[in-house]
Structure 1
Amino acid sequence: MDTGVSARTGRLRARRVARGSVVEGAARAGLSARGVIYLLVGALALQVAFGDTGEQADRDGALAELARQPFGAVLLWALGVGLVGMALWRLSEAVFGSVGQDGRSARKRLGAAVRFVFYVVVAFSVLSFAASQDGGGGSSDQRSRDATAGALEVPAGQWLVGAAGIAVIVTGGWIAVRAVLRKYHDELRLGRMSRRTRRLVDVTGVVGGAARGLVFAVAGVFAVRAAVDYEPERAKGLDDTLRTFADTPLGPWLLACVAAGLVLFGVFSFAMARWRRV
């Protein structure tokens, strides 16, 4: 009897360890894939800021740039698989809870579920690109305008688009505030970092997170304007949103600063892949 119970306990423990190892690997692969995308988008936005406007500064532009590199097809598939890992990690958090004192709370699980859906969409788009080597659905700007136009046609469409825009603005503000307050410290294994490494991670986390939040918020503002004016053309994807920064009185320098922030967020994602508690 005791031997049987011990055997079952051992098997359960082994399964937990195996599942934990799989989830941890998926999470770190996903965070690394996110880092690659932000590095490429930021680099493309820097090119736009300094006069090279030949490429889209969005996910499709980043994927096209990656495809042109040696072994580009392999890199694209690896990126897509990494993002599938990110989605699976978020799904596991929604089902089983995440690390931390309130990791099993309904709020945390709901947030994980939303991220799961988001990364499923992103992973699908990357894998579709890898399979066809073609953006297929046009630029992020055109997709945003098409989606906005479709949403405006449904009953209460203006309210729906406006609410979605406000949600994106709030999300952007939340991302930026959390970054400035260094809330990501709760998710990192700080004890494994040297003091110098921690300072470098803070630079990338604060500046990169603030830049990412700003881009989200500005995109949300354009969605709200599209709803208020009933003009789908006012909605902007990532490429047009970034180019808008160059149209401010600060000119291309503001875009360059935001682009550099996105590059730093890419570096921060790699730091998260290395030191995040999963």
Structure 2
Amino acid sequence: MNTDVLIRSGRTRARRAAKGSAAEGAARAGFTARGVIYLLVGMLALQIAFGDGRRQADRGGALAELSDRPFGAVLLWALGVGLVGMALWRLSEALFGSVGRNGRTARKRLLAAARCVFYSFVAYSVLAFAASPGGGSGSSDQQSRDVTARVMEVPAGRWLVGAAGVAIVAVGVGIGVQAVRRKYHDKLKLGQLRPWVRRLVDVTGVAGGVARGLVFAAAGAFAVRAAVAYRPDEAKGLDDTLRSFAGTPLGPWLLVCVAAGLVLFGVFSFAMARWRRV
């Protein structure tokens, strides 16, 4: 009897270890894929800031840039698979909870479920592009305007668009505040980081998080303005949002700072892929 119990216990531990390894691999692949996208978007935004705006500084532009590289098709498929891994890992967090304090609370699980839906959409768009390069669904700017116009056609559509814009602004502010407070420390294996690596992670995490939060907040503000003016064309996708920074009194230098921040967030995502607790 004791032998049977030991065998069952060993099998249970083996299944848990396998699931843990699978979840960890999926998460790390997902963070790597996220890092590649932000790195490319940031580099495209830098090109725009310095007068070269041939490509959109959004996910579509990043994928087009990647497809032009040697072994571009392979890289696109790898990127899509990595994002599928991210979505599956977020799904596992929604179902079983995440690491850290309060990881199994309803709030954490709902947040993980929302992230699962988001990364599922992103993974689908990347895989669709990989299957048919050049046949994407259009720029993020046109998509934002189309979605805004459709929502405004339904009853209380303006209020829905405005509420969504306010929520996106709040998310952006939250991202920036959490970055400044270095809340990501709670999720990192800090004991494994050498002092100079930790400083590098903090530079990329804070600067990258603030830039990312600023982009979210600006995009949300444009959605609110579209709702107030009842003009769907006021809504902006990622590319138009980034280009709008160049139209401020600070000129293209604000766009340079934000673009550099997105590049740093890409690097930070690579650090998360290496040292995040999963």
TM-score under structure 1 length normalisation: 0.99
The match for 2:109 is: 109
- AA matched with 2:104: R
Determine the C-alpha separation between the residues in 2 that align with 1:147 and 1:197: 42
Determine the C-alpha separation between the residues in 1 that align with 2:187 and 2:132: 37
- AA matched with 1:136: G
How far off its partner does 1:135 sit?
4.5
- AA matched with 2:204: T
Q: Secondary structure at the match of 2:250?
A: coil
Determine the C-alpha separation between the residues in 1 that align with 2:147 and 2:160: 12
The match for 2:39 is: 39
**1:153-209 per-position Cα deviation (integer Å, ceiling 9, x unaligned):** 001100110110011000000000000000000000000001111001000000000
* Aligned residue runs from structure 1 range 2-21, under 5 A: 2-21=2-21
Determine the C-alpha separation between the residues in 2 that align with 1:248 and 1:162: 23
Determine the C-alpha separation between the residues in 1 that align with 2:65 and 2:190: 34
Moved more, 43-52 or 1-10: 1-10
How far off its partner does 1:136 sit?
2.6
Runs of 4 or more consecutive aligned structure 1 residues displaced over 3 Å after TM superposition? none
**1:27-63 per-position Cα deviation (integer Å, ceiling 9, x unaligned):** 0000000000000000000000000011100000000
How far off its partner does 1:219 sit?
0.1
The match for 1:49 is: 49
* Aligned residue runs from structure 1 range 86-125, under 5 A: 86-125=86-125
Instruction: Tell me, yes or no, if the aligned pair for 1:60 and 1:135 is still in contact at 8 Å.
Output: no
The match for 2:199 is: 199
The match for 2:154 is: 154
1:224 equivalent to 2:220? Answer no
How far off its partner does 1:117 sit?
0.3
Q: Secondary structure at the match of 1:118?
A: helix
Determine the C-alpha separation between the residues in 1 that align with 2:135 and 2:266: 22
- AA matched with 2:126: V
Structure 1 unpaired stretches of 5+: none
How far off its partner does 1:131 sit?
0.3
Instruction: Tell me, yes or no, if the aligned pair for 2:40 and 2:263 is still in contact at 8 Å.
Output: yes
TM-score under structure 2 length normalisation: 0.99
Determine the C-alpha separation between the residues in 2 that align with 1:137 and 1:155: 27
- AA matched with 2:60: D
Instruction: Tell me, yes or no, if the aligned pair for 1:77 and 1:130 is still in contact at 8 Å.
Output: yes
Determine the C-alpha separation between the residues in 2 that align with 1:138 and 1:111: 28
In angstroms, what is the RMSD of aligned CA positions?
Answer: 0.6
Determine the C-alpha separation between the residues in 1 that align with 2:105 and 2:134: 41
